[in-house]
Amino acid sequence: MTERDVMLNELAQGLRPMSQGIGWFDALSPEEQSKTLRFLSHHCVQARAAAEDGPESIRRAGLRPTHTPAVLIAHGRIDQQLGKIACLTPLDERRKAFRLLIAVLAIADGRRRERFCSDGCAHWWHRLSVTD
């Protein structure tokens, strides 16, 4: 597990505030931001994000339905749309994409945790707690 893995999972689980996550994300180089968004997109797919997660993700991310990442997640196959969201390049769109993908991961992984991990599991990210 890397610092990135831990940070993203702590954000998705509400163990760290999004303001801290945005600060962390903004400090990354543009290349690292792109890698992080692709990584997040992949984990959303792995957590079995579903099309019906879109509206709640938009709400949790604090986005307007007209923001580009919100428009993308609302139309088309979720796995394809998550990839498109991860490829947004303007900085302000990347920040919105980051917030939205964290929200999608939170919803999808929360559902997975309820359905498959409620009696315990081997997922290291389900045993996180913030120590600082």
Tell me how far apart the alpha carbons of residues 22 and 17 are, in angstroms, rounded to a whole number: 9
Nearest to 126 by CA among 12, 31, 28, 17: 12
Tell me how far apart the alpha carbons of residues 127 and 121 are, in angstroms, rounded to a whole number: 9
Residue position matching structure tokens 């580009």: 68
Q: Give yes or no for a contact between 50 and 78, defined as CB atoms under 8 angstroms apart.
A: yes
Nearest to 93 by CA among 73, 113, 108, 78: 73
Record the tokens describing residue 79, joined without a space: 């796995």
pLDDT for residue 120: 63
Q: What is the rounded average pLDDT of the residues 37-51?
A: 93
* Per-residue pLDDT reduced to its tens digit, 28-42: 999 999 999 999 999
pLDDT for residue 115: 75
pLDDT for residue 126: 45
Tell me how far apart the alpha carbons of residues 99 and 80 are, in angstroms, rounded to a whole number: 18
* Per-residue pLDDT reduced to its tens digit, 67-119: 999 999 999 899 899 999 999 989 889 999 999 999 999 999 888 877 766 66
Quickly count: other Cβ atoms within 10 Å of residue 83's Cβ: 17
